[in-house]
Amino acid sequence: MQARLTAASTQLNDGGEEAREFPEKDDSKLKSLGNALRTGWSRQSSRTRRSKPPAGVTGLLPQIVTHGLTDPGRADRRVRINISGMKFDTRERVLLRYPQTLLGDVVRRQRFYVPEEEEYFFDRHRPSFEGIFRYYQTGKIERPRNVPQDVFAAELAYFDMGKLVINKFLKDEGYDVSENVLPEKEPQRTVWILFESHDGILAKFVGLVTVLFILLSVGTSCAETLPRFRNLTDQTFAHVGDVKVNLNIAFSNIFFQIETACIVWFCIELAMRFYASPRKRRFVKDIMNILDFVVILPYFIDLILIVANVDPTGSNIIPATIVRVLRLVRVFRIFKLSRHMRALQMLAATLRASAPQLIMLIFFMAILVVLYSSIIYFMEMDHPDHFFPSIPAAFWWAIITLTTVGYGDIYPKTPWGKAFACICVISGILVIAMPMPIITKNFEKFYKKNGNNPFKALPLNNGHEERDDNNSEHRKRTYAVRLTDIETEEHESFLKDEDESSSGFLSSV
């Protein structure tokens, strides 16, 4: 045994450089040398308790592992991955589809290679890796049902699947993955925290003031339509030809004063948020910001009409219908509450997630409305006092019957019509009930998450590095013979420290 290892050492020292330059020609020799060295090394380790082979031997082991055993350059090479005892077989080209990941990066992956087993070993969560392995095969990330969300997200980070993949997974799970980018300048950052973050006492106070102004504005828009206050609204636009007099009359109206105070606050809020926004273009395109701008337009249009001495109710310049629509827009300020109330945000998220089911429900209801309206029309047409002069006229009855509202303003009078109405009610209940479990499940999902993403602090890049750093001593002892042609700094440092102790390795066997 000693003579064989001595001869092997001589061949390694004399022919190591040649083997490095032409590794493809010496595969058989390198394999036999590697087997001999590993056999001798395992026996020697049991006696001396050393953790690494000598420098001369280790210098050639990367060539043995790389060219003789693994051959990572072949795209069709079969790769075996061992996850805590569960083995997965695939092709090299499958992993190379995603070179930015841990398994797709040949250099980073090799540190986990076990030459004796010709496989990559990871002491990780086995059920989670089934979803990760499926992503390499199909390109779709999906959490296994029996794996908790936080465990699967941690495994995605460990295997360095990338920020886009993790965000896709979190988004599918119902979490908000949008990033809040803070402004770079300190004044803008302070304003942003006050009007956008809703964290802290001052920010909560600003949010409370905004909510009060929204409720006051909507309440005023509703109250001024009462008969007792309608005269005050008419006097606001009772133009006499003098701009100053018109303005005095308008601002003497208590409702106009309240509206002015609300608009001033809304303008300040919108201007401050635009000033503090780090992404101006994205701010302008946001649907809620567009709504904030639209709901303040009616006030300025009314103000322009007062200054221009134009009566909106009897003007040929602006139709009265358009003015009424603009005033109706003021009621839409109630949607501004969604910025400050998580319940409304969850409701909106539920409706978006349930859009396919809602569309399906509307489609089925439309089919049933046309069908049942036609049937009830022909059933009731012979009755002298029927309520269905045409099929479109029966649409109203079909809708309120299918939805089980039943106003009772129109109804069938014949026995056959009444029997069919019962069928209409039952079918309406069944159709409406079908998508309800899915919608309820979506609402429960968003309700549990409540808009909070517990994985925002999750490391998204090189999650395996933390484990390697924490177990660097263990890695020095265990993976010394699993190095490839890419030697780490720890390996080089080890060789420097162990150079003298390894010189007598072969002769002592």
Q: Hey, where are the domains in the chain? A: 2-72+484-497, 186-340, 353-449
DSSP symbol at 176: -
Average pLDDT, the chain: 75
> Is the Cβ–Cβ distance between 401 and 424 less than 8 Å?
yes
Residue predicted with more confidence, 325 or 109: 109
d(CA 117, CA 150): 31
| Band of residue 270 on the pLDDT scale cut at 50, 70, 90 | very high
Tell me how crowded residue 355 is: count the other CB atoms within 10 A of its CB: 10
DSSP string across 290-350? HHHHHTTHHHHHHHHHHHTT--TTT-SSS-HHHHHHHHHHGGGGGGGGGGT-HHHHHHHHH
- Give me the CATH topology for the region 353-449: Helix Hairpins (1.10.287)
Tokens of 415: 């026995």
For 393-415, write each residue's pLDDT tens digit: 999 999 999 998 988 889 999 99
**Residue 83 region by backbone torsions, left for phi larger than 0, else alpha for psi between -120 and 50, else beta:** beta
3-state secondary structure of 121: strand
Least confident of 192-201, 396-405, 499-508: 499-508
pLDDT of residue 353: 87
**Residue for token digits 């495994």?**
155
Considering the chain, what percentage of its residues have pLDDT values greater than 90? Answer: 35
d(CA 285, CA 293): 12
Residue predicted with more confidence, 43 or 271: 271
Tokens of 29: 């020799």
Least confident of 309-318, 336-345, 413-422, 496-505: 496-505
What CATH number matches the domain at 186-340, 1.20.120.350, 1.10.1060.10, 3.40.50.150, 1.10.10.10?
A: 1.20.120.350
pLDDT of residue 455: 58
pLDDT (mean) for 288-317: 77
> Is the Cβ–Cβ distance between 151 and 125 less than 8 Å?
yes
3-state secondary structure of 79: strand
pLDDT of residue 459: 53
Residue predicted with more confidence, 99 or 66: 99
pLDDT (mean) for 155-174: 87
Radius of gyration (Cα) for the chain, nearest Å? 38
Question: Residue 266 CA to chain centroid, in angstroms?
Answer: 31
> Is the Cβ–Cβ distance between 104 and 110 less than 8 Å?
no
Helix segments in 98-158, DSSP class H:
106-109, 126-138, 149-158
pLDDT (mean) for 83-103: 92
| Band of residue 316 on the pLDDT scale cut at 50, 70, 90 | low
Residue 343 pLDDT > 60: yes
Residue 498 pLDDT > 70: no
pLDDT of residue 156: 92
pLDDT of residue 443: 87
pLDDT of residue 179: 66
Candidates 64, 54, 3; CA nearest to 33 is 64
pLDDT of residue 160: 92
| Band of residue 17 on the pLDDT scale cut at 50, 70, 90 | very low
| Angle made by CA atoms 79, 84, 87, in degrees to the nearest 5 | 35
Tell me how crowded residue 422 is: count the other CB atoms within 10 A of its CB: 10
Least confident of 143-147, 299-303, 472-476: 472-476
| Angle made by CA atoms 476, 482, 488, in degrees to the nearest 5 | 60
Question: Residue 190 CA to chain centroid, in angstroms?
Answer: 27
d(CA 304, CA 326): 13
Least confident of 56-60, 191-195, 331-335, 481-485: 481-485
Tokens of 56: 């001369």
Helix segments in 96-125, DSSP class H:
106-109
3-state secondary structure of 460: coil
Strand order in the sheet with 113-114: 86-91, 78-83, 119-122, 113-114
For 42-74, write each residue's pLDDT tens digit: 444 444 444 444 444 444 444 434 443 445 556
